[in-house]
Amino acid sequence: MKLRRDIIKPPRLYFEDESEERHSNWLELLFDLIFVAAVSLLASNLNSNYSFTTFLQSIPLFFAIWWGWLGHTIYLSRFGVDDFMHRFYTMAQMIVVAIMAINTKDALGATGPEFAISYAILRFMLVAEYLRAGRIVPEARALTHHYSIGFGIAAGLWGVSAFTPAPWRFLLWGMAIVVDLLTPLTAGKIHQQFPLHPTHLPERFGLLTIILIGEAVVGIVFLIGTLGLTLETGITGLMGFIVAFSIWWGYFEEARGAEARVEEKGEEIGRYQLWLYAHFPLLLGIVATAMGVKHVISHGLGSVLSSSEVWLLCGSLALALTALSFIFLSSFNWHECVSRVLLYFRIPYYILIILVICTGFLGSILPGSLILGLLTLICVVKVILSLREPPEELMCDIY
């Protein structure tokens, strides 16, 4: 009996090639959903206790989850092949992510060691992929060697932290996150020699973003289903939908965050990095805003939220909108037209962001539903402003 030829394929490099389209496959979409489950479990902490303390505690955990997803996604964008070995290896990673997700909810407490060891295993599996790619693709060995060392050290710190008592465990987590961040940032010109695929990675980011926005909408639907559809829940739920739609519009229509992007060399590499890393505050803001909207719905139309809850809701939305602005600016040639774009497009946009933040001052005066109404109105104005056709003299090159 002959085995199929596609059981094992060697890793290969994907360079910028307009003739070769790459799209996310079904396994990558399934992989996304496992990570979204981890995000949902982490967000349940914020749903139970909507406070700045819980929000700040969630940031390093959210970053670890996002960074784990990003590591696998970037590897596939450069070296991925869809063979049976990759599929089984990805399924194994999904099992590890599922274990990590289960331990996410109390990762700062009782399940911290389990979260750390599962995350360490996930990162070591990524290191193994880079080692294999470096062995089979010798021209990329400098890149894979650099990533293997950096990510391996960070994974080792996560592993050691599993056997370290708190609060020293969290110190090791912070060190591991710093090492993880510095690894790609210190790669210099090495990673520029092997650019990421111009269509695959933006599509992957777009899919993760729309899944999280969809999770926000589903959460509102389930909450209204639990409380019962009334005039109160219907009005606040509608406002939550409009806020979610405005973020969707801002990302896919206005900022065009999921469109093809070329990883330019030289100074313009900053645009690509701005686009990539701006997704972290964007996704964090989406999740925190969604929990805030649910908090308003559960309290009813006339209930006044605490000042800190209102500030967190306004700050979360402002964070998402600011990240969207960075993604928008990353699409333009900074040397030629960023000042013109700022003057025509962004100044009104930043005024709206300031208004979102200033809405927090009304938290002790207005009920939560009216606060959400004001934020919804600002989001509607933002969408309307995005419909403007720029004057011809302001047009400039974008991706």
Strand partners of residue 332: 398
Please check the confidence at residue 226 and state whether its pLDDT lies above 60: yes
Please check the confidence at residue 338 and state whether its pLDDT lies above 80: no
Using CA atoms, how far residue 325 sits from 91, 214, 319, 352, 376, in Å, is 36, 21, 10, 12, 18
Q: Between residues 171 and 199, which one has the greater pLDDT?
A: 171
Q: How confident is the model at residue 125 (pLDDT cuts 50, 70, 90)?
A: very high
Among 15-24, 65-74, 263-272, 325-334, where is mean pLDDT lowest?
Answer: 15-24
The pLDDT score that the predictor gives to residue 291 is 94
Among 54-58, 83-87, 204-208, where is mean pLDDT lowest?
Answer: 83-87
Please check the confidence at residue 212 and state whether its pLDDT lies above 60: yes
Q: Between residues 313 and 192, which one has the greater pLDDT?
A: 313
The pLDDT score that the predictor gives to residue 304 is 82
Cβ atoms of residues 198 and 262 within 8 Å: yes
Q: Between residues 26 and 352, which one has the greater pLDDT?
A: 352
Q: How confident is the model at residue 3 (pLDDT cuts 50, 70, 90)?
A: very low
Per the prediction, the chain carries an average pLDDT of: 85
First-last CA distance in the chain? 50
Give the model confidence (pLDDT) of 344-355 as tens digits. Answer: 566 788 899 999
The pLDDT score that the predictor gives to residue 150 is 95
Please return the burial class of 2, using the count of CB atoms within 10 Å of its CB with bins 0-12, 13-18 and 19+.
exposed
pTM: 0.89
Give the model confidence (pLDDT) of 64-120 as tens digits. Answer: 999 999 999 988 888 877 767 778 888 899 999 999 999 998 999 999 999 999 999
Cβ atoms of residues 324 and 254 within 8 Å: yes
Cβ atoms of residues 375 and 359 within 8 Å: yes
The pLDDT score that the predictor gives to residue 1 is 47
Residue listed under structure tokens 């967190």 = 312
The pLDDT score that the predictor gives to residue 377 is 97
Dihedral of the alpha carbons of 248, 250, 255, 260, in degrees to the nearest 10: 10
Q: If phi over 0 gives left and psi between -120 and 50 gives alpha, with beta otherwise, what is residue 391? A: beta
Half-sphere exposure (Cβ direction) of 188: Cα atoms closer than 13 Å: 4
